[in-house]
Structure 1
Amino acid sequence: MVLGSILNPVNSSIVAVALVPIAVAFGAPAAETAWLVSALYVATAIGQPLVGRLVDVFGPRRLFLVGTVLTGVAGLLGALAPSVAVLVAARVVLGFGTCSGYPASMVLIRREAARTGQESPAGVLTALAIATQTVAVVGPTLGGVLVDLGGWRATFAINVPLSIAGVLLGLLVLPRDPAVPDAGRRLGRLDWAGVGLFAATLVALLLFLMGPHLATLWLLGAAVVAAAGFAARELRADDPFVDVRVFAGDRALLATFARSTLAATVSYGYLYGFSQWLEDGRGLSASAAGLVLLSTFLVGILVSVTTGRRPEVRPKLLVGGLVQVVVCAALLAVTGASPIWVLDVLAAVLGLPQGLLNLANQNALYFQADPARVGASAGLLRTFMYLGAIIASSASAGFFGRRADTVGLHELGLFMLGACVLLVVLVLADRSLGRIGDARE
C-alpha cells in the first residue's frame, strides 16, 4: 500500500528540479514547462475520485494493479519523449496511473478496521500520511540525484522499476477482490456524464489559472457553468459520481477539503517555486537544490511519526498553519546572496507543517467520511489537495515568467502567505475538529 501510494506524490515533485534542464533541452520558457506540473495535477484531480469510486464498486486490488501498470507505461513514454508536448502527455498518463494507490489503501484500511474491530489504526494511517504527502518533499532530492546521474529523462524512467515492483507486490500480497456480478453493466452504468462535467470544470479552471487575464475570463465563466451543470446532474443521478447532497450537508467534510487545498497551495508553492529559485535565482545545481529540500522531508517524517498516534486533529492543524505563516513571511527576506545555511533552516522549519497538516486532514476525513464511500471521499481529498497544487503551479508560472528570479519569489511568498493565513482562520472557526480527538479517546 505504501509503495503504491508514494508513486503519485513522488512524481508530483520529482520533476521540480528537472524543469530547468527540460526547458534548456527543448528551448522552452518556464510558463510552458509549468504544464508538466499542471498536467499531472489535472489528471490526478479528475482520476482520484473516479478511481476511488471504481475501487468502491470493483475492489481495491484490481484498480491498484491497473493503475500501477499505467505508471510504468507513462514512465517509459516520458523517458523516450522527443518534445515537451509528449512529456505533457506522459505526465497525464502518469497522473491517471498513480492515482489508484491512495483510495485503494484507504478502502483496505477501513476493511481491516472493520474486520479486526480496531477503530483507529493510527500507525497505519500515519504511514499512509507519510507515503502520500510527506514523502513528496524527497522528490526534488531524488530528482536532483537522477538528473546528475542520467539527465532529466531518468526522472521519468525511474517509474518503470517502481511499477514492476508494485505489480509484483500487489499480486503477491493484496487480498483478492470478490467477484463483481454484471461487472460490464455496472461499469457502463457509472455516472460518466458527471465525470465529464467534473473534468470540464477542472480543465477550464486550470486554463484560466495558467494565464489569468481579461481575455481568458470566459474560461472562468465556462468553469462556473460546467460546475453548475455537474451539481445539477449529480442531484438527479441515481448513483452519482460525487454525491453532492451528502457533501453539501456535511460542513465538517467540506472544511477538510478546503483546508487541504490551502495547505497544498503553500506546500507545493514552496516545492516548485523555491526549488526553481534555488537553481535560477541562487545559482545552485539541481542536486544541490534537492539537498536543500532534504531537511523538509526528514523533519516532516520525524514529526509525522512522533505525532501520528496522538488523537487530536485541531492542534496539529493550528500549529502547522502558524508555522507556514512564519516560513512564508521569512521568504520575503530571502535574496540571491542569502547563505545556504539560512535556506537550510527555512527548509527544515517547513518540515513541521509538512508532517502535521496532511496527517491531520487525512485523519479528519477518515472519521468524517461515509464508510460506504470512503474510496471516493479519499479520492476527493486528493483532488482538493491537487487543486491547491494547480493553483501553486499557476502562481509560480505567473510570478516567475521566463526566469525564477528573487522578485518573483517574493511575490509568490506574499501569495502563499495569504493562503496560510486563511488556513489558520478556517481552523480557528471549525469547532467540530475538537470532537474528533475526544471521540477516539
Structure 2
Amino acid sequence: MGSLLNPLNTTMISTALVAIGHSFGIGAADTAWLISVLYLASAVAQPVLGKLADTLGPRRVFLAGLVVVMASGLVGALAPGFGTLIVSRLLLGVGTSAAYPAAMAVLRDESRRLGRPTPRPVLARLSFAALGSAAVGPALGGLLVSVVGWRGIFAVNVPIALLAFGAALLWVPADPPRDRAADGSAPKLSLDPLGIGLFTTALTVLVFFLLDLAHPQWWLLAPFAVLTAVLVRWQLRTPQPFIDLRMLAGNGPLLRTYIRHGLSYLLIYCVMYGYTQWLEEARGFSSGHTGLLMLPMSVTALVCSLLGARTKGLRAPLTVACLLLTAGAGILVFLSGDTPLAVLLLAGACFGAPQGLIGTSNQAAVQAYAPPESIGAAAGLQRTAQYIGAITASSLIALAYADAATDAGLHLMAAVSVVLAVLLAALTLTDRALRART
C-alpha cells in the first residue's frame, strides 16, 4: 500500500492538469510544475530515505513517510491557490519516497534471516503494486475529477496512507538492532550529511535547468559542474559516503541499469502526460473519457508485469519493451484530429507493456547487482534515475506544447521519442550483463 502511493500520484494527476489549469487560469507550461516538483522531491528524497532505511531501519522511515503523506493530502485538498498545490506536491514527493527503498531493505533483512535470496516472484509483487497503481492512475484520476473534482486526487492520499500506517504497525517486522560499537556504546550514524547536502543541491540545480528547455538557463550548468566536482571529491575521500562512487565505477551492470531505467521512463512519461493532454485539448475528450482511453495501457502494464516476473533472464523482456516503445512512438508521429479510436487505443497499449516489463526487470537487476548492505540507497538511486527521466519528459512536453497541446507539438515529442527509443534498444542489446539468468 505504501509503495503504490508514489507511482499513483505521479500518474493520477495527468487527467487533472487541464481542470486545475482552468480552475486557476493557467496554461500547460505552468501546470507542468505540479509534475516536476513531485519528481524533484522524489529524485532527491529516494536515495536519502533509502540511506536512512539502511541506517536507522526501514520500518521507522516508512512510518514517518506516511505521516508526511497524510499531511500533504490535507494541504492539497484544502489548497486556496496554485502555490499551495505546489507545496502539497513537494510534501507528497518526500513522504511517498520512503516506501520503495524501505520495502527493498525489509526484503533484504528477511533474506538475511532466512539465509536465502529474495525470490523474484516476491519482488514482482512489490513491482506489481507500484506498476498497477501507476497504470490505473490516469483512469482513477479521471474518475475522481469527474465525480468530486480535482481536489479528490489530493484527498485520496489520506485514507490510503492511514490504512498503510495501521497495517505497517501490525505486520511490518520491527527494525533489526544495529551493531554496537566495540566499547559497547551506541553505534554512530553513517549518514554523510555533507554528501547528502551536496547531492541535493547539485540535483536541484540540474532539475531547474531541465525544467525550462524552451529557454535554457545555460549559466546553471556552471554551478552544477562545480557542485558535482565537490561532491565527487568528497565521496571519494569520506570513509562512509552517501553514494559509493567506487562501487558504482566498478559495478557496470548496476550503473547501466540506472541509465536504462531513466531513459525508459523518459519515454513512458512523455506519453503518460503528453498524450493525455493531447487527447483532452486537441481531441476534446473529457477527463473521464481520457482515463478510459488509457485503460488498455493500464491493463497491458499489469499483465506484462506478471509475465516479466516469470522470466528467468532480463535481456528478453527489456528488448521486447524497447521494440514496443519504438512502435508506440512511431504511431504517435502520425496521429491527428481524425485518427480512428482504435489507433488511439493501440498507441496507449504499446506503452503499457514496456511499463510492466521494464519495471520488474530493472528492479530484479538492482536486487541482483547492488551490494546487499546498501540496497535501500541503491533502490533509491534507481528511482532517482527514473525521476530525472520524468522531469526531462515534462520539460520536453512543455517545450513541444507551450500553452496548449496541438498536433504539431505531439508529433515533435513523438519524433524525439523515436530517436530515444532506438538509443535505448542499442544500449539494451549491447549490455553483456543482461545475458545472464537471474
* TM-score of the two chains, using structure 2 as the length reference: 0.96
8 Å contact from structure 1 (residues 210, 398) kept in 2: no
Partner of 1:363 in structure 2? 364
Q: How far 1:176 sits from its partner (Å)?
A: 0.9
- In the TM superposition, what whole-angstrom CA distance separates every residue of 1:100-132 from its partner, at most 9, and x where no partner exists? 111111111122223334424121111112222
1:259 alignment partner in structure 2: 260
Determine if contact 1:9/1:136 at 8 Å carries over to the other structure: yes
Trace 1:305-320 onto structure 2 (pairs within 5 A). 305-320=306-321
Of residues 366-375 and 288-297 in structure 1, the stretch that sits farther from structure 2 once superposed is 288-297
Residue 224 of structure 1 and its aligned partner are, at CA, apart by 2.1
Output the amino acid matched with 1:82.
P
- Find 2:108's aligned residue among 95, 107, 110: 110
Identity of aligned residues (%): 40
**Distance (Å, rounded) in 2 between the aligned partners of 1:220 and 1:397:** 20
Deviations 1:380-439 (A, max 9, x none): 00110111111111111111111011111111111211221111111111111112x1xx
1:220-256 deviations in Å (ceiling 9; x for gaps): 2222222222111111122111111111221111100
Number of equivalent positions: 434
CA distance in 1 between partners of 2:382 and 2:394 (Å): 18
- Specify the alignment match of 1:144 in structure 2: 142
> Tell me, what secondary structure is at the counterpart of 1:402?
coil
Considering only aligned residues, what root-mean-square deviation do their CA atoms show, in Å?
A: 1.7
Structure-2 separation of matches of 1:116 and 1:12: 35
User: Equivalent residues in 2 for 1:289-300 (5 A)?
Assistant: 289-300=290-301
Aligned counterparts of 2:136 and 2:91: Cα–Cα separation in 1 = 22
Name the SS of the counterpart of 1:427 in structure 2. helix
Q: Give 1:205 shift.
A: 1.3
Residue 40 of structure 1: aligned partner: 38
- Alignment check: 8 A CA contact 2:308 2:361 kept: no
**C-alpha deviation, 1:309, in angstroms:** 2.1
Cα displacement (A) at 1:135: 2.9
Distance 2:402 2:265 in 1: 22
SS at match of 2:191: coil
Q: Distance in 2 between matches of 1:275 and 1:215?
A: 26
Counterpart amino acid of residue 338 in structure 1: T
Match of 1:175?
Answer: 173
Which residue does the alignment assign to 1:329? 330
Residues 95 and 184 of structure 1, relative CA distance in 2, 3 Å threshold: farther
1:248-279 per-position Cα deviation (integer Å, ceiling 9, x unaligned) = 22111110000001110011111000011110
Aligned to 2:373: 372
* Separation (CA, whole Å) in 2 of partners of 1:120 and 1:372: 14
Q: Distance in 2 between matches of 1:103 and 1:314?
A: 24
- 2-structure distance, mates of 1:171, 1:242: 30
Match of residue 84, structure 2, among 86, 97, 107 = 86
String of CA shifts for 1:276-301, please: whole Å, max 9, x gaps. 11101111000111111111111111
Instruction: For 1:177 and 1:215, locate their aligned partners in 2 and report how far apart those are by CA, in whole Å.
Output: 46
CA distance change for structure 1 residues 62 and 281 in 2, over 3 Å: closer, same or farther?
Answer: same
| Aligned partner letter, 2:83 | A
Distance, in Å, in 1 between the alignment partners of 2:344 and 2:216 is 38
What per-residue deviation string (whole Å, max 9, x for no partner) do you get for residues 144-190 of structure 1?
00001111110000001011101000101101113456999845x52
Aligned to 1:200: 201
| The 10-residue stretch of structure 1 (407-416 or 300-309) with the greater mean CA deviation from structure 2 | 300-309
SS of the aligned residue for 1:133 comes to helix
Per the TM alignment, residue 212 of structure 1 is displaced from its structure 2 partner at its CA by 2.6
Q: For 1:145 and 1:201, how far apart are their aligned partners in 2?
A: 38
Q: Which runs of 5+ in 2 are unaligned?
A: none
In 2: Cα distance, 1:392 partner to 1:360 partner: 22
Q: Could you say which residue in structure 2 is the equivalent of 1:226?
A: 227
Output the CA distance in 2 between the equivalents of 1:415 and 1:83.
Answer: 34
- Checking the alignment, whether the CA contact within 8 Å between 1:68 and 1:163 is kept in structure 2 is yes
Maintained 8 Å contact 2:305/2:359: no
How do 1:6-45 residues align onto structure 2 when only pairs under 5 Å count? 6-45=4-43
Counterpart contact for 1:106–1:375, Cα < 8 Å = yes
Aligned to 2:211: 210
Structure 2 residue matching 1:36: 3-state secondary structure: helix
1:290 counterpart letter in structure 2: G
2:160 corresponds to: 162
Q: Report if the CA contact (8 A) 2:144-2:153 is conserved.
A: yes
Distance 1:263 1:214 in 2: 25
Residues 373/415 of structure 1: CA separation in 2 closer, same or farther (3 Å cut): same
Aligned to 2:55: 57
Q: Distance in 2 between matches of 1:105 and 1:319?
A: 28
User: Which is worse superposed, 89-98 or 116-125?
Assistant: 116-125
Equivalent residues of 1:60, 1:107 under 8 A apart: yes
C-alpha spacing 1:79/1:184, structure 2 compared with 1 (3 Å): farther
Letter in 2 for 1:299: T
> Which residue of 1 is the match for residue 250 of structure 2?
249
C-alpha displacement of 1:196: 1.5
Which amino acid in structure 1 is aligned with residue 409 of structure 2? G
1:359 positional shift: 1.1
